[in-house]
A and B are shown apart, each in its own frame.
Chain A
Amino acid sequence: MRMKVHRPCDAVAMTLTAETETYDGMPPITQIRFDYRPHALARGHPAISAALLFDRYTNGAFNPAGHVSPLTAEALRRWFAPRVVTIGGVDAAPHAVSEIGRRMLVDDGTYRAAAMLRLFRRPGDVIFRLAPLTAVGTALDADSATVRTNAAALLGLRSTVSGALIRVGAAFALLQDYGVNELFIPETAASTLHCRDGLSVVGEATESKVSKLQRLLASVNVRLEAPFAGLSENAVAMIADAGSMASAPQPVSDPDAFGFERAYHARFLATHATAADSLFMTPESDWGGLLSRRYHATVRGAAAAVGATTEADLGARFVMARDRAYTPYAFARYAETAAA
């Protein structure tokens, strides 16, 4: 994969273009556009950004835009392993690497992110979000950046692409401008960097993908923290819902919010639910284990509130709620209102 970066002087934009080569898979889009023009890009940042964004499709050779240090090149080789990928653009000349900076928390709109923000945010931190694909423009201020980019189009077309890679890859466009050298991502053990598809669960490689990502980012002096990486979804849900319901931050208006839950719940219903089935799955079931205990309880509570015991009964009301980006909290409130 050969990458090019274009930052025109006459537009508030940057494009990252991927040219596929002999052994690459063809991505659904080959040009990532950011409605943001970085003032500066540190050495190695475009390479890491591209490697994460197009990780899913890269094979054979990776020729980044700009140069990378030997350390970053080695980290990239390890990142792509067990694929054999040669890294181009290696520049052995010494360059300064920034070591003091701010923290950036990557908010994906889930309750996991809500928990992370509640527990770890401190003054001076930057909140990074990807604007919805349908949004226009980027919203910036000193402490937050909601960046519009079509990078989200790379999400999920193949189930093993993780949203975290896309968000971290996109965030790299701003790291130098915001002086960031530490990233927090809210991924948990269940969501960590491989998504499940249908009935097939694909396990991790021998080395944890998080560790590999940490090593990759460390090669450009960016520290990666995934504070929930070892926790289950239920544990994080409890953290997220701890405290006053009223203070639970609402998710951003993002179609991905609770997409994880909604998508799999919908798919479960499509493949398993009949009119006679009792409601949903248990947390102990294979499907149910993907969702938080809080989510289960909320759904059951909503069903009970409206006196429904089957999907057919609850049907329309729940589906209408599910189609929107409701938090479990908000859905519970909705169900209470509906029952009233």
Chain B
Amino acid sequence: MNDGSLIDPSAAMAARFVGPDDPGPDISVVIGYRDWGAERLRLSLKAHRAAVGDLSCEIVISDYGSRDPSVAQGLAAEYGARVIHTPVDGVWNRSRCLNIGVAAARSDCVVTTDTDMLFRPPTLSVILNAIRATPQAVHLLQCKNLPPEYDERSIIAFDWDEFERVSFFRPRWGMGGLAGFSRSLLFSKLGGYDERMEVYGAEDTDLGERLQRAGFFMNWIDEPSARIFHIWHEPTLNTIRRNKDDVAALERNRKIYMSDKSFVRNTTMRSQGLWGRPLCSVLMTTRNRPQFLAAAIRSVLSQTVQDFEIVVIDDGSDTDAAGAICKEFDDPRIRYVPRPRAGVGAARNYGLGLARADWIVIHDDDDLMLPTRLERHFDTLEAGMVGTYGGWIDFEQETGALTFNAGKAFSYDSVAFGARALVHGSMMLHREVLARCRYSETLPFTIDYNMVLQVARAGYRLGHTGHYAILRRVHDQSVTAAFSADQRHLTNQPIAILGNEITAAEQARRREAAKTLPAAVCANHGATAYFRQFLAEEFEFRESFLVWRWLPPHTGLTPARFLASVIAGPCFARSFDAQCVFPPKGGAHARFRVVGGRAQALDMARALESISGAPDEAAVETEGRDSYGAPIWSVGKTNVERRFTPAEDVSVFLPLPEAAIRARPKVTFSGDEAVLHLSVIKAEIVTAFLEEAARAFTLLRYATQDGIAPRRHGFAFAMPSDHDKSAFLRVARAHFPNARAGNSQRCA
């Protein structure tokens, strides 16, 4: 169309151009802007007004950090647009700029574009029709580049036929010059453009990739009447290449695009999202267990992802203690909903109906989350997945013992026939999956297991986050404990029903095969230490510190050799942490944190005596409490003489959970190297061990009679022959880059 006129839209056309006070427009056009120059923006606004046609259209200028916001504001006032100005003292971030604009748009049908695009009529109508017809797609239009004669100074009239004649499609066929989509049905579900990508570059192609992973797709509009033209200007890439920070940003963007396979982004960017509803809903049900609820909620509030709501369904508690606890947090994200008792299945289904987010994080009221749990859920959400889950740490409420469970890869066989594949409270699922595979409201037990089984049976795919997600309390008030005998029997009920679709012989074969399913690899990152802040009281009388003082010259042992001997000796079979402490002022003592209490401390003391040869009986006395409040016991009556002056305190923690160790460890000394040999049953236990050891090695020094000298330390692990050593080696190298495999795997 060639109207040949100067740009002066008619009043009628202007009337259809929606301003801030009008009711919802048909379409919103979001333009990212930052000090690009008034003329280019003016041209763009004029063209958009001309392209409106019969639509009611809103223009949103997202001004991200302009030094002089009045430019955009003046033009917006002149052309009836809205300006969202974000004051920024930093680099240009097209992703964030557009996300802010999209969030502010008043139509659900949104087009994002740049300041230097001219839209030919009736392009916007074409895009709107495409969005409405196929809302599960992002609609793209490749722009045509105008030649250098058509920059912002020389374009006076919109001669569309002339533009068509002189322009060529942009050679780099990427994501076009605009993206049109439904904000609620598509864009918000991905979290928008990835805001880690600064400057510009790759954020749009990254969005395209993520779309497909999430089940959407790209639609290239192929209508001759729909055209966008790019106003000529000096290529931005030339400007960027002159700035090394920008070049570095582009390289970072490229790495994110190539390596990050998740599809929901910006999860940790804000305390509350831009899209009108939370990123995820943490769904808890509770009944008569207020003593655990506060810690559970606190662990959620401590997440790196803050864009959530917590829905607490009280399934008929006898008191309103849970409500009082929720109210005490005074956080609008916590929704407490009491109802008469209807069972945990009904309560969860009801909570699902109330949840506002697409992603439902299942969390039991007596469990604790690690602070990165929610973040890991989304980081792992890849193509085709409807949810993710992590490993879990069982915490015996009675004894304080911790058992690390990494879980296994999710499949029907691992859930139905394997053991300890995953635990329900570590999962995040899309709400529609839970709507399809609802919790049974008729089964008395194994409601969680039944749901998980149905999810597996439906063919849904879940991903393991590769990290521990929760600490799960094991106590006498859990369903597991209360109905343990009946539940063991009824655990089979879902399988008994479902087993009618698989022959008995096939079940037996698959059950046998499930035994060899490998465990997932789970990083620990100090989970134990983190949970202490929630469990200080529970740990109080469950740990004892033995402070064992010895005289190195008397025993002939250096502290390190002593420690190694202790570890290798009869004490290894107990759960404990060993700490060699060399206070700056002299002396030495080894502290053994023994899980189990006073009786176990005495037992350990006797074992220590047999190693060190200290005289007489062991006397176990308290020496007060440590910073955690656990009592410190001292054993022995030997004196401490100062034989060396260490430069600093030294401590070594070596957790050795007994269940993982096949045989007595061995310590070998070679020159200045001490190596502790462990034969393990479960590699995931060793993974946790490696994490602790890595930290310990940063501190370890031990003294010789000649003074302080750093020594090399190593760990050698013998594993079952059918264990996946490559997976273990990968984990080991994350902590010890020089780790290698051989007859024994050295990790230092």
Contacts and interface: CB of A to CB of B under 8 A. Distances in A.
Interface residues of A, number: 57
B449 to A, nearest CB: 13
Interface string B121-157: 0000000011011111100000000000000000000
A159 interface: yes
A62 to B, nearest CB: 12
A134 B129 CA distance: 39
Contacts of A30: 384, 459
A155 B383 CA distance: 18
Interface string B460-493: 1100000000000000000000000000000000
B339 A316 contact: yes
B215 interface: yes
Contacts of B216: 25, 158
Interface in A260-286: 262-263, 266-267, 269-271
A8 interface: no
Interface stretch (B292-300, B429-437, B566-574, B680-688): B429-437
A270 B354 contact: yes
B458 A133 contact: yes
Given A137-B501, A200-B182, A153 B436 contact: yes
B355 A270 contact: yes
B219 interface: yes
Contacts of A160: 135-136, 185
A31 interface: yes
Given A159-B185, A202-B185, A270-B353, A23 B436 contact: no
B350 interface: yes
A23 B215 CA distance: 11
B356 A270 contact: yes
Given A136-B498, A137-B501, A316-B340, A28 B218 contact: no
Contacts of A82: 130, 133-134, 219
Interface in A32-60: 32-33, 35, 56-57, 59-60
Nearest to A202: B135
A327 to B, nearest CB: 18
A31 B217 contact: no
Contact of A263 (B108, B222, B435, B440): B435
B253 interface: no
B214 A271 contact: no
Give the interface residue-count category, chain B. 35 or more
Interface in A185-203: 197-200, 202-203
B185 A197 contact: yes
A33 B217 CA distance: 25
A269 B436 CA distance: 21
Contacts of A155: 432, 436
Nearest to A201: B108
A270 B132 CA distance: 27
Given A134-B437, A199-B184, A205 B132 contact: yes
B372 interface: no
Nearest to A270: B354
A227 interface: no
Nearest to A55: B136
A157 B437 contact: no
B349 interface: yes
B459 A323 contact: no
Nearest to B453: A134
A29 B460 contact: yes
A324 B342 CA distance: 12
Contact of A255 (B215, B432, B438): B438
A320 interface: yes
A203 B26 CA distance: 12
A136 B349 CA distance: 22
B460 A153 contact: yes
Residue among A28, A136, A156, A160 with most chain B CB within 10 A: A28
Interface in B185-216: 185, 211-216
B423 interface: no
A248 interface: no
Given A28-B384, A200-B108, A137 B184 contact: no
Contact of A25 (B182, B215, B461): B215
Contact of A323 (B134, B340, B350, B497): B350
A162 B457 CA distance: 22
A320 B316 CA distance: 13
Contacts of A23: 212, 217-218
Contacts of B342: 316, 320, 323
Given A30-B459, A56-B215, 20 more contacts: A23-B212, A24-B212, A26-B213, A26-B215, A28-B384, A29-B461, A31-B459, A56-B136, A59-B218, A82-B130, A133-B454, A136-B500, A155-B436, A158-B136, A160-B185, A197-B185, A200-B108, A259-B435, A270-B354, A319-B350
Interface of A: 20, 23-33, 35, 56-57, 59-60, 82-84, 133-134, 136-137, 150, 152-153, 155-160, 197-200, 202-206, 255, 259, 262-263, 266-267, 269-271, 315-316, 319-320, 323-324
Interface of B: 108, 129-130, 132-137, 182-185, 211-220, 222, 277, 339-340, 342, 346, 349-350, 353-356, 383-384, 386, 430, 432-433, 435-438, 440-441, 454, 457-461, 497-498, 500-501
